[in-house]
């Protein structure tokens, strides 16, 4: 598999209902989801460079997940790739540069919502993970404390790779606007995380300008009529 093949593969995800939870607040809530498409792999460094011309990652390799990218960087990548493929960009930037709106009718690339992310990660399973951790994820116990090329572990039942481990993934959603303002949701755990962080339900948060070497993203698209 080369990087371009990895990034051309989008998985059709069926409609469904997912129940999310937050350990900090002990809150649970359910979300109904329409069908959508999501990338089988996190965005690779080769594809990020192809679309943006940039190589932000500290550890470089064509098929390694891109990291060192902020939420804002990920949103701009989505719009740039949409433009390259003649699709309607999913995001509109405010004139003041501080705000971003999503066009729900657009057919372009976008970040998954966290409900979409968890629904796709679980792939119809109900346990904390869709398989034995060492077989499906790069985490602190088996990664040699470094990233690995995408697709090196077993996929989930719907054909998604690396949803757990390797790099955390940005989602579209605000984490908790009343408490954390503009902080956005991260999901999935990373190569330096202990096993308890690599679970389908775990939520993490960070500022949309935050960049670090264990955070990347994968892309999604709405199913439009």
Long-range (24+ apart) CB contacts under 8 A made by 175-184 are 175/203, 175/205, 176/22, 176/25, 176/205, 180/205, 182/207, 182/208, 183/207, 183/208, 184/71, 184/208
Instruction: Quick: pLDDT tens for 107-155.
Output: 999 999 999 999 999 999 999 999 999 999 999 999 999 999 999 999 9
Provide the pLDDT for residue 163: 98
The C-alpha atoms of residue 147 and residue 140 are separated, in whole angstroms, by 10
Beta strands in the chain (DSSP E): 10-13, 16-22, 27-33, 36-39, 91-93, 100-102, 109-110, 168-174, 184-187, 203-206, 215-216, 220-222
Provide the pLDDT for residue 14: 97
Provide the pLDDT for residue 8: 63
The count of other CB atoms within 10 Å of the CB of residue 196 is: 10
Q: What are residue 164's phi and psi, to 5 degrees? A: -110, 135
Provide the pLDDT for residue 94: 86
- Averages of pLDDT over each 10 residues, the chain, 225 residues: 57 96 91 98 98 95 98 97 97 84 95 98 96 97 97 97 98 95 97 96 96 97 85
Rg (CA), the chain: 16
Provide the pLDDT for residue 98: 72
The C-alpha atoms of residue 118 and residue 19 are separated, in whole angstroms, by 9
């Amino acid at each position: 598999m080369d990087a371009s093949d990895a990034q051309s593969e989008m998985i059709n995800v069926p409609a469904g209902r997912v129940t999310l939870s937050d350990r900090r607040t002990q809150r649970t809530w359910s979300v109904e989801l329409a069908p959508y498409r999501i990338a089988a792999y996190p965005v690779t460094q080769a594809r990020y460079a192809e679309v943006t011309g940039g190589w932000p990652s500290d550890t470089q390799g064509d098929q390694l997940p891109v990291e060192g990218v902020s939420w804002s960087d990920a949103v701009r990548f989505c719009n740039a790739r949409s433009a390259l493929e003649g699709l309607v960009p999913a995001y509109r930037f405010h004139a003041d540069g501080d705000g971003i709106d999503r066009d729900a009718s657009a057919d372009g690339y976008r970040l998954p919502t966290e409900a979409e992310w968890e629904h796709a990660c679980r792939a119809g399973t109900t346990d904390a993970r869709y398989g034995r951790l060492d077989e499906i994820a790069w985490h602190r116990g088996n990664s040699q404390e470094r990233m690995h090329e995408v697709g090196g572990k077993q996929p989930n039942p719907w054909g998604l790779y690396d949803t757990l481990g390797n790099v955390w993934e940005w989602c579209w959603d605000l984490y908790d606007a009343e408490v954390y303002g503009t902080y956005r949701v991260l999901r999935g755990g990373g190569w330096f995380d202990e096993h308890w962080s690599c679970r389908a339900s775990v939520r993490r948060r960070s500022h949309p300008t935050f960049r670090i070497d264990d955070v990347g993203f994968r892309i999604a698209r709405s199913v439009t009529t």
